[in-house]
């Protein structure tokens, strides 16, 4: 999913997700939960509007008991400001039949380990 997103292939990234995917960003500044592929697609479009460039670099991934924990570095440049940003996130994904069905973005890695 990350590789497809980084290539600008939103359809490919969405293809890794279950149609009823839930992606929880309540720890992030916008504090939203995206439900279903349509909302995630709108989220990707919003990111394209706000960021001149944005990529997710996977630092490490672990898989166990139907969950994948991805430690990532988000690197980008604001579209209007040109300001470069970089920060760490941990994404915890639950999988079913090889697809991402539920994800949560954590800004604190210690909080990310507990759910899986």
71-91 pLDDT tens trace = 999 999 999 999 999 999 999
pLDDT at 29 (0 to 100) = 78
Q: What does the alpha-carbon distance between residue 25 and residue 46 come to, in Å, rounded to a whole number?
A: 14
Q: What does the alpha-carbon distance between residue 15 and residue 85 come to, in Å, rounded to a whole number?
A: 28
29-72: pLDDT as tens digits:
788 999 999 999 999 999 999 999 999 999 999 998 889 999 99
Q: pTM of whole model > 0.85?
A: yes
In this structure, the dihedral spanned by the alpha carbons of residues 34, 97, 115 and 57, taken in order and rounded to 10 degrees, is -70
Classify 2-113 by CATH class: alpha beta
Per-residue pLDDT at 114 exceeds 70: no
Count of beta carbons in the 10 Å neighbourhood of residue 77: 13
List the one residue out of 43, 53, 28, 54 whose CA is nearest residue 111.
Answer: 28
């Amino acid at each position: 999913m990350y590789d497809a997103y980084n290539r600008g292939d939103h359809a490919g990234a969405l293809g890794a997700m279950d149609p009823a995917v839930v992606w929880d960003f309540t720890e992030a500044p916008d504090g939203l939960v995206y439900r279903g592929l349509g909302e995630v697609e709108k989220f990707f479009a919003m990111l394209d509007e706000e960021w001149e460039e944005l990529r997710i670099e996977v630092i490490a991934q672990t898989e166990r008991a139907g969950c994948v924990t991805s430690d990532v570095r988000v690197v980008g440049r604001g579209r209007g400001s040109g300001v470069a940003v970089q920060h760490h996130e941990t994404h915890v994904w639950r999988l079913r039949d090889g697809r991402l069905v539920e994800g949560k973005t954590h800004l604190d890695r210690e909080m990310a380990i507990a759910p899986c």
